[in-house]
Structure 1
């Protein structure tokens, strides 16, 4: 049975991403485990290691770290790099990876915030103890440079979530208007959000969308059609639920 196969009737929802390695076989697993224990105070109940794969059991979660001795095939990384504005020269730099590591929480789906924090902790430990370039989470179109990912991780807690490591914030500018949307809130069982055709600057849109996304994820809130939201006692932004402008399906539109 392969590492990503499952037995029985238990419903599982693997969470996975990939670490891009500039140098083959460069993960120092002993140091990864030490960082998880010492820096994050995690208890590893079990560890299995084979030539290409390690499996860690942390707080009931089975976490697979599988080394793939090839680059990610096709143009997937190049396409993601073109969208990810936080990684300047991402197309050129990410294309230098020689191998990739598949990092998966194989039995995720119980507590989305807890699982994303755990994934982030393990990913950061791998980045710290390998010749890595960055992290790729294809299901959220995220391709993040190593230093950026680690900087967002430094102050991570359940009250201070590193959303830029977890959710893609798309920016659009058309006919003198600015728009922003989320891609990844669905993985937290929340509707994606859009602000469309705003006169606000991209900086203002980025700040308020990050704060709203952080609020709904950290506080486990479901926003609904017809409600209002604000980042202060006096701010009341109208919410509507309708067909997405930049995303498939329906999204929450925030009037701002």
Structure 2
């Protein structure tokens, strides 16, 4: 399971023509060699390492994945190797790293039909076909980039109310979202959580403890910074639309 990086570079350029020309600072073209572990994506360098062993098993990861990808556990059980993809250097903007890495992963999948899935940041698992297609929008303008590749939104019940919690957002802003409502239906709740997620991805952790958010002047959703009571002390932006 070793990718031909020259082929990956060609596919990456074809899929993302908006990327800057792959050149070094001195103006000489960076030629991706077939066996090179590095590929340039825009202004960034990304490392791709082939690992001839399965990823460590995480029961929680695959249980979450099964809610939207029923075959995930079977796929995980039969895989025998994996690739580790990471951007060199630490970007000041996690969103930049996510966009770049997602694009490279999409190109890898397009050139390696044996790829069966992607585990993102050890928190989220997605089928390879879905990643290949959605990652075409890796560099789309806000809010149209494929944030649902990076973040799960999972429903739960809280007494007589319903809720939704994210998994994966903390890799970007240090907290997940836990939203409990007694007023919204599940689709509307998911829309609220998705909207807040992508806002935080774009702007960083700008919602402070005690702030209220809302789509209109009359909508007031209180946000508290706390450790979740329902999810083992997970640091969250705890949101509720209960009347104050």
Q: Same fold (TM over 0.5)?
A: yes
Match of 1:185 in 2: 169
Match of 2:77 in 1: 95
Question: Within 2, Cα distance between the matches of 1:79 and 1:28?
Answer: 33
Q: Structure 1 residue 137 and structure 2 residue 123: aligned?
A: no
Q: Structure 1 residue 122 and structure 2 residue 98: aligned?
A: no
Cα offset, 1:97, TM superposition = 1.5
Does 1 or 2 have the higher relative contact order (CA < 8 Å, sep 6+)? Answer: 1
Note the residue ranges of structure 2 that are not aligned, 5 or more in a row. 24-29
Number of corresponding residues: 228
Match of 1:36 in 2: 12
Question: Within 2, Cα distance between the matches of 1:47 and 1:83?
Answer: 40
Contact conserved, 2:173 with 2:204, CA < 8 A, in 1? Answer: no
Match of 2:240 in 1: 255
Question: Within 2, Cα distance between the matches of 1:37 and 1:148?
Answer: 20
- Residue-by-residue CA offset, 1:38-94 (whole Å, 9 max, x unaligned): 22133334456585x611234453311111122224x23x54221112211210123
If the length of structure 2 is used for normalisation, what is the TM-score? 0.81
Given the alignment, which residue of 23, 35, 50 partners 1:67?
50
Contact conserved, 2:6 with 2:33, CA < 8 A, in 1? Answer: no
Cα offset, 1:135, TM superposition = 0.4
Question: Within 2, Cα distance between the matches of 1:126 and 1:98?
Answer: 17
Give the alignment's Cα RMSD to 1 decimal: 2.5
Runs of 4+ with deviation above 4 angstroms: 47-51
Question: Within 2, Cα distance between the matches of 1:142 and 1:200?
Answer: 26
Contact conserved, 2:22 with 2:40, CA < 8 A, in 1? Answer: yes
Note the residue ranges of structure 1 that are not aligned, 5 or more in a row. 1-23
Q: Structure 1 or 2: larger strand share? A: 1
